[in-house]
Amino acid sequence: MIEVNRLVKKFKSGSKNVLALNEIDLKIDQGEFVLIKGPSGCGKSTLLFSLGGLQKPTDGEVCIAGENL
Ligand SMILES: Nc1ncnc2c1ncn2[C@@H]1O[C@H](COP(=O)(O)OP(=O)(O)O)[C@@H](O)[C@H]1O
Ligand SMILES: [Mg+2]
């Protein structure tokens, strides 16, 4: 249903480069219930924005129901 391959998101803020997502692989089947947890700043929101098509990843792919975003 949701498939993520080698997802990378980098941000540049000022002179600082932030690697928010470092080659994430993920597969979530239909009906599956998944929880994402981790400390503040670890990349949870960035991952969700990428899954929702709200933010273009730096690299890698997100497929929803077989369609590559
Ligand atoms: N728009 C942005 N510009 C620059 N850095 C960002 C931006 N969004 C997120 N980041 C950085 O990416 C990292 C992950 O942030 P985020 O996904 O918001 O973490 P979480 O949701 O797990 O708290 C953090 O270091 C954050 O500062
Ligand atoms: Mg967040």
DSSP secondary structure letters along 4-68 = EEEEEEEEEETTEEEEEEEEEEEEE-TT-------STTSSHHHHHHHHTTSS--SEEEEEETTEE
% residues pLDDT > 90 (the chain) = 99
The number of folded domains in the chain is 1
Is the pLDDT confidence value at 13 over 90?
Answer: no
- Residue 24 sits in which domain range? 2-68
17 touches ligand 1 (CB under 6 Å):
no
- By most ligand atoms within 8 Å of CB, the mutation choice from 45, 49, 54 for ligand 1 is 45
- By most ligand atoms within 8 Å of CB, the mutation choice from 7, 11, 37 for ligand 1 is 11
Mean pLDDT of 9-35: 96
45 touches ligand 1 (CB under 6 Å):
yes
